[in-house]
Amino acid sequence: MLRTERVESAIQINRGELFRFGTALIFIIGIMLFTIVRTDGGIDGILLVIAAMIGGYMAMNIGANDVANNVGPAVGSHAITLSGAIIIAASFEAGGALIAGGDVVGTIKNGIIDPDMVADRDTFIWLMIAALLAAAVWLNFATAVGAPVSTTHSIVGGVLGAGIAASGWGIADWNQVGMIAASWVISPVLGGFIAAGFLYLIKRTITYKSDVLGAANRMVPILVSLMAWAFGTYLMLKGVKKLVKVDFPVAVVIGLGAALVVFLIMRPYIANMTKALENQKSSVNELFTIPLIFAAALLSFAHGANDVANAVGPLAGISEAITGGEVAEKASIPIWVMAIGAVGISLGLALYGPKLIRTVGSEITELDKMRAFCIAMAAAITVILASQLGLPVSSTHIAVGGVFGVGFLREYIKSSYARTLQDIRDHHAEHDQEAVDAYLAKFEAADVETKGKMLREMKQLAPGSKLLAKRERRGLGRVHRIELVKRSLLLRIAAAWVITVPVAGGMAAMFFFMIRGMMLP
């Protein structure tokens, strides 16, 4: 009886995990049964069934890992609940994949290997299956340890490793591989600087002002309009472009039109909202709630349209090779293949996404709605800039880099402020303590312009003997260093980024040799 109670207790604790695993397993089995009905049997039919099951597994892992970057900041800032974020993201991811995912997809992601060097059709099929499986397994592991990684880099590593195993080192385009490696630095740095730049702009133009609400009335409609411009252009380039040919100037003009409409709507809306708010910094956060919800939805739509190819590209290539009998650089996407990708991404997000959503949204650094808004802006603007400059970037790296960017900016500002207060105390060491406290209270209540004026006056009036020596200032900097970013998580995520391509490549090579060994007579 006691043993039975312990078993029941253990099942109760792990009931949620069992439910998630069972649901995922039912989805994979459903794909298997559906694909079996569509095939004529034989070795080709078996390979297509296996590829479809692995494609569904890959799609679920994309949803579990990559989608968190789109909604994590909005959830961490409490602009939207976790359940609401999952519903919005799942709906818009599936919509983006099905509506704007495109009719044709590249089978060799990023052109990193030469398909002409693949020996034959069967070798190509084994290569794609190995690449898909390796990328999916690596994403599964990264999600389990709470590391947001790039799904694009995962499938690139898989294709690269399996390609080398199939045809040797000469098959790879090493210039392209080098560009991808460069994006490990380019993506997070660009995202971090742009997010930090927007946060600093908000602080200087709104929260550092004495009349916070008056400044918000002027600036928030402009900031939200900039977001509309960025997202309008972003969606044209990353979503609608798959349906209708849109070049960059047209996308910018359409985005500008959306920005003007949003400005006309937001100006009276913000003015009406500020009437019911108190004149303090925390009130400004409420003005960014609706824009953040829209940002999460639009980022999810664009991600579904763009990154569904990571799951269905190899699967579409395998389907094309089986039906057409030859290796193709581009393959048409059957609706059933796209449906596997769309449903798999949504299901993976719902079942396993919350872990990475919490990591991105709250575990790296504390986010409020202003900071989350800046991260969303960075995500859209960085992709636009990088695509026009021909720089390889990862949406995952951009979003996570944006989170770290706002966190490090907060550290710098708070540490600098703490050192400034200490400087004031040192400059007034000979004064009465009450007078010093009164001066500090006046300083803290002042806006940024007044603070700068007070500091300049203080330094002019203070005796030279009271200035801190250079060595003392370095010591003071160490004393007042404030850490608002979790360093251990930073190192773990950075390590996962660096090893994604080689680990996925190594696993893909291993899987290719295993599959070839089983399939050869």
Model confidence pLDDT, tens digit, residues 385-407? 887 777 767 888 888 899 999 99
- Cα(133)–Cα(510) distance, rounded to whole angstroms? 11
Q: Around Cβ 435, how many Cβ atoms within 10 Å?
A: 10
Closest alpha carbon to 369 in 265, 282, 276, 486? 282
Query: Is 479's pLDDT higher than 70?
Result: no
* Whole-number pLDDT of residue 513: 93
* Whole-number pLDDT of residue 477: 44
For residue 332, give the H/E element and its range: strand 330-332
Judged on CB neighbours under 10 Å (0-12, 13-18, 19+), 281 is middle
Query: Is 63's pLDDT higher than 60?
Result: yes
More confident residue, 153 or 455: 153
Amino acid at 511: F
Query: Is 410's pLDDT higher than 60?
Result: yes
* Whole-number pLDDT of residue 388: 77
* Whole-number pLDDT of residue 269: 92
Query: Is 222's pLDDT higher than 90?
Result: yes
Mean per-residue pLDDT, 411-432:
72
> Could you say which DSSP state residue 469 is in?
P
On whether the CB atoms of residues 339 and 98 are closer than 8 A, the answer is yes
On whether the CB atoms of residues 158 and 508 are closer than 8 A, the answer is yes
Tokens 């950075």 belong to residue = 494
Query: Is 520's pLDDT higher than 80?
Result: no
DSSP-assigned beta bridge partners for residue 106: 330
112-127 burial string, b = 16+ CB within 10 Å, else e?
Answer: bbebeebeebbbbbbb
Closest alpha carbon to 225 in 369, 371, 373? 373
Query: Is 470's pLDDT higher than 50?
Result: no
Q: Please, which residues have CB within 8 angstroms of residue 52's CB and are 6 or more apart in sequence?
A: 31, 32, 34, 35, 315, 337, 340
- Helical segments of 390-432, H only: 395-427
On whether the CB atoms of residues 203 and 195 are closer than 8 A, the answer is no
User: What sign does the dihedral 47-48-51-57 (CA atoms) show?
Assistant: negative
> Could you say which DSSP state residue 440 is in?
H
Tokens 């993976």 belong to residue = 348
> Could you say which DSSP state residue 103 is in?
S
Tens digits of per-residue pLDDT, 331-375? Answer: 677 888 888 988 998 899 889 988 888 888 888 888 899 999 999
Q: Is 113 helix (H, G, I), strand (E, B) or coil?
A: strand
What is the residue-averaged pLDDT of the chain? 82
Tens digits of per-residue pLDDT, 271-324? Answer: 998 888 888 888 888 899 999 999 888 888 888 877 777 777 888 888 888 877
* Whole-number pLDDT of residue 201: 94
Query: Is 6's pLDDT higher than 70?
Result: no
* Whole-number pLDDT of residue 469: 44
Mean per-residue pLDDT, 85-109:
75
Tokens of 397: 């790296």
Q: Is 198 helix (H, G, I), strand (E, B) or coil?
A: helix
Closest alpha carbon to 153 in 508, 516, 515? 508
Phi/psi-derived region of residue 102, left when phi > 0, alpha when psi is between -120 and 50, beta in every other case: left
Tens digits of per-residue pLDDT, 227-260? Answer: 999 988 888 887 666 667 778 888 899 999 999 9
Query: Is 82's pLDDT higher than 60?
Result: yes
Tokens of 394: 């990862």
Judged on CB neighbours under 10 Å (0-12, 13-18, 19+), 171 is buried
On whether the CB atoms of residues 285 and 67 are closer than 8 A, the answer is no
* pTM (two decimals): 0.82
* Whole-number pLDDT of residue 264: 94
